[in-house]
């Protein structure tokens, strides 16, 4: 610090502002002890990562406040607690506290490099902070045309992963950015997915950059979800915008699955890439809605909750974690792709495994072997007749089933000792796990009565997901219809869906949920794209709905 003063004095200058990075606050403590010892010392500005702002939050609360941090390229500043030794002096003498994103620090490092100054992300954070101050409404309190600013750099140049830009508010550009982040589900397919950690880190940083209350949920390592909260003044209804961050595998996608390319399809502007439609565009619309509400002049009484959840494509770990953590609202919208239809109901599904038992034996000796695969054929024939009797729902239509997997035998030269059939049931209200298992047991028992060699294990449920159905005249449905009509220019259809999503889990837990999202094509296919205009329309509807529902 003395050397800084000396060099400035040799130029006939004296510092008016000093910007210092903060981890636990030891360097900043030294800065205020030195510079504030002068009778007219410079203003001291501290800078931290958006996602590790322990001093910023402590100054805001006027007490030491530990924070939960998330990964940042500013590793040396990734600290969750201010050192007690420094706290009292920092509280008295820091003139301004600034937080910056990884992307802002990266851009500052690039600028410094262009000026032949080598600095890593921690070191360039000071320049990033200065830029934020200069662009802010409060900047004139810290800077003027005569300011002499000292930027402290705590790190030389080093390699680091190039961060994504978290300053994006526009839902189209945000769809592109989210699509470029690989978040393929790690457990869903044989191709190892990247998992959700990277995209949840991005969304956490995006929320933190805007000062939005953030909660990370991670009960299973590597499968995080994140909740963002805009608190209302109290007494109003709360609304959740719930969207999954995971996608299916990239392996089945042609060309560039992570391009996020903005081009045209059928003469209409579209964004391409795995997950662009399912459902990063819907998630982008929800995030943009949060910004629109936060920056608007309206005061809401109810809370607005954004839930960006993991694992919807497989086991719904994220939404289950969300509910177990106690997050519950008066209503929820899931912006899954519905082609801008309102979907208050969708089918459930159930996977049932059935083992047909034979007797292993040499293929040349039919007297000792019993062919479990041939016996399974008898069950499949009966099952085909059974599906013709499945019930029908007035909104969702008929229930259905299909045999998704069949596995039996070890080699062609041996009688197979076991044949396992996995049946998927797409269910409607009134069907239960128990009723379907009873039906399967009856079918199997009847075959065994007619065919003595037919043996089987009791059928077992491997996965079960509930149906979703709230009335078409529910206030949340009707309000969404009214607002969508204004944005779309026509009255949207109210439909039931054959697919399954997390809406059923939310409704089952006491948060009535509907599905409403953008248009496009290519769900789980070799090419996926989303219609740009529909993203804008969904964002408009969500923003209007939040203002109306939470007022």
Identify the domain boundary among 465, 483, 517.
Answer: 465
| CA dist., res. 372 & res. 455, Å (int) | 9
Instruction: Say yes or no to pLDDT of 336 above 90.
Output: yes
| CA dist., res. 118 & res. 124, Å (int) | 9
Instruction: Say yes or no to pLDDT of 506 above 80.
Output: yes
Mean pLDDT of the chain, nearest integer = 97
DSSP codes of every residue in 434-447: HHHHHHHHHHHHHH
User: Is 35 a domain residue?
Assistant: yes
Q: Are residues 392 and 264 in the same domain?
A: no
pLDDT of residue 39: 81
Q: Are residues 302 and 185 in the same domain?
A: yes
DSSP H helices, 42-101, are 54-61, 84-93
Confidence of residue 40 (pLDDT cuts 50, 70, 90): confident
Q: Are residues 262 and 178 in the same domain?
A: yes
Instruction: Say yes or no to pLDDT of 394 above 80.
Output: yes
Q: Are residues 494 and 543 in the same domain?
A: yes
Where does 253-360 show beta strands of DSSP type E?
262-265, 268-272, 304-309, 331-334, 342-346, 348-357
CATH number, domain containing residue 370:
3.30.70.360
| CA dist., res. 424 & res. 440, Å (int) | 12
Asked if omega into 59 is within 30° of 0 (cis), the reply is: no
pLDDT of residue 170: 98
Stated pTM of the model: 0.91
Instruction: Say yes or no to pLDDT of 190 above 80.
Output: no
Bridge partners for 426 per DSSP: 349, 400
User: Is 161 a domain residue?
Assistant: no
Across residues 328-345, what is the average pLDDT?
98
Q: Which element (helix H / strand E) includes 420?
A: strand 418-427
Q: Are residues 195 and 329 in the same domain?
A: yes
- Cα 94 from chain centre: 36
Structurally, the chain folds into a number of domains equal to 3
Q: pLDDT per residue over 104-129, tens digit each?
A: 999 999 999 999 999 999 999 999 99
Q: pLDDT per residue over 209-248, tens digit each?
A: 999 999 999 999 999 999 999 999 999 999 999 999 999 9
| CA dist., res. 346 & res. 87, Å (int) | 54
Q: pLDDT per residue over 153-170, tens digit each?
A: 999 999 999 999 999 999
Q: pLDDT per residue over 263-316, tens digit each?
A: 999 999 999 999 999 999 999 999 999 999 999 999 999 999 999 999 999 999
Look up tokens 């001291």; give the residue. 44
Q: Are residues 370 and 407 in the same domain?
A: yes
Q: Are residues 298 and 259 in the same domain?
A: yes
| 281-295 and 197-209 helices, crossing angle to 10° | 20
| CA dist., res. 356 & res. 211, Å (int) | 58
User: Is 397 a domain residue?
Assistant: yes
pLDDT of residue 262: 98
Other CB atoms within 10 A of residue 66 CB: 12
pLDDT of residue 138: 85
Q: Are residues 542 and 522 in the same domain?
A: yes
pLDDT of residue 189: 75
Q: pLDDT per residue over 462-505, tens digit each?
A: 999 999 999 999 999 999 999 999 999 999 999 999 999 999 99
Q: pLDDT per residue over 64-85, tens digit each?
A: 999 999 999 999 999 999 999 9
Across residues 351-367, what is the average pLDDT?
97
Domain with 456 in it: 348-465
Across residues 240-261, what is the average pLDDT?
96
pLDDT of residue 137: 87
pLDDT of residue 504: 97
- Cα 390 from chain centre: 36
Look up tokens 């069949």; give the residue. 406
Instruction: Say yes or no to pLDDT of 18 above 80.
Output: yes
Written as six digits, the tokens of 116 are 């032949």
Confidence of residue 103 (pLDDT cuts 50, 70, 90): very high
Q: Are residues 17 and 64 in the same domain?
A: yes
Q: Are residues 147 and 229 in the same domain?
A: no
User: Is 46 a domain residue?
Assistant: yes
pLDDT of residue 463: 93
pLDDT of residue 38: 84
Identify the domain boundary among 412, 447, 465.
Answer: 465
Identify the domain boundary among 117, 151, 185.
Answer: 151
Which of 135-144, 164-173, 198-207, 296-305 has the least mean pLDDT?
135-144
User: Is 95 a domain residue?
Assistant: yes
Q: Are residues 95 and 144 in the same domain?
A: yes
User: Is 248 a domain residue?
Assistant: yes
CATH number, domain containing residue 483:
3.40.630.10
Q: Are residues 195 and 268 in the same domain?
A: yes
Instruction: Say yes or no to pLDDT of 544 above 90.
Output: yes
User: Whats the size of the chain, residue-wise?
Assistant: 551
Look up tokens 């809406």; give the residue. 503
| CA dist., res. 179 & res. 343, Å (int) | 24
């Amino acid at each position: 610090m003395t050397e800084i003063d000396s060099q400035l004095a040799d130029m006939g200058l004296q510092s008016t502002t000093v910007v210092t990075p903060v981890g636990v606050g030891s360097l900043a403590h030294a800065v205020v002890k030195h510079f504030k010892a002068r009778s007219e010392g410079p203003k001291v500005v501290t800078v931290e990562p958006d996602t590790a702002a322990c001093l910023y939050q402590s100054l805001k609360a006027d007490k030491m406040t530990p924070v939960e941090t998330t990964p940042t390229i500013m590793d040396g500043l990734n600290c969750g607690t201010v050192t007690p030794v420094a706290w009292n002096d920092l509280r008295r003498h820091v003139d301004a506290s600034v937080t910056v994103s990884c992307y802002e620090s990266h851009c500052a490092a690039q600028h410094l490099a262009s000026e032949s100054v080598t600095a890593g992300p921690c070191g360039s954070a000071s320049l990033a902070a200065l830029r934020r101050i200069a662009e802010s409404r409060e900047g004139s309190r810290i800077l003027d045309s005569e300011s002499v600013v000292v930027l402290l750099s705590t790190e030389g140049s080093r390699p680091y992963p190039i961060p994504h830009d978290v300053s994006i508010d526009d839902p189209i550009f945000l769809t592109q950015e989210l699509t470029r982040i690989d978040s393929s589900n790690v457990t869903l397919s044989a191709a190892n997915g990247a998992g959700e950690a990277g995209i949840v880190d991005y969304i956490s940083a995006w929320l933190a950059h805007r000062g939005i209350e953030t909660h990370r949920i991670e009960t299973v390592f590597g499968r995080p979800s994140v909740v963002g909260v805009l608190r209302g003044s109290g007494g109003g209804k709360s609304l959740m915008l719930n969207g999954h961050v995971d996608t299916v595998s990239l392996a089945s996608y042609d060309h560039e699955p992570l391009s996020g390319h903005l081009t045209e399809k059928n003469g209409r502007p579209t964004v391409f890439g795995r997950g662009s439609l399912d459902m990063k565009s819907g998630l982008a619309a929800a995030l943009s809605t949060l910004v629109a509400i936060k920056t608007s002049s309206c005061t809401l009484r109810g809370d607005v909750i954004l839930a960006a959840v993991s694992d919807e494509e497989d086991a719904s770990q994220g939404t289950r974690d969300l509910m177990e953590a106690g997050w519950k609202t008066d209503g929820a919208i899931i912006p899954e792709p519905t082609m801008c239809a309102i979907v208050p109901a969708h089918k459930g599904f159930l996977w049932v495994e059935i083992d047909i038992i034979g007797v292993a034996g040499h293929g040349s000796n039919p007297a000792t072997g019993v062919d479990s695969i041939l016996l399974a054929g008898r069950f499949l024939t009966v099952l085909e007749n059974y599906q013709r009797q499945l019930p029908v729902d007035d909104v969702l239509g008929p229930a259905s089933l299909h045999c998704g997997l069949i596995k039996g035998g070890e080699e062609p030269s041996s009688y197979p000792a076991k044949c396992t059939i996995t049946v998927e049931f797409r269910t409607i209200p009134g069907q239960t796990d128990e009723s379907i298992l009873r039906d399967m047991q009856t079918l199997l028992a009847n075959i065994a009565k007619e065919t003595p060699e037919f043996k089987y294990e009791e059928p077992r449920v491997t996965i079960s997901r509930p149906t979703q159905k709230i009335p078409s005249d529910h206030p949340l449905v009707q309000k969404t219809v009214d607002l969508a009509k204004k944005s779309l220019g026509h009255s949207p259809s109210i439909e039931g869906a054959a697919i399954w999503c997390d809406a059923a889990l939310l409704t089952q837990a006491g948060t009535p949920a509907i599905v409403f999202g953008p248009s496009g094509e290519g769900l789980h296919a070799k090419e996926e794209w989303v219609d740009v205009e529909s993203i804008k329309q969904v964002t408009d509807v969500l923003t209007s709905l939040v203002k109306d529902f939470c007022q």
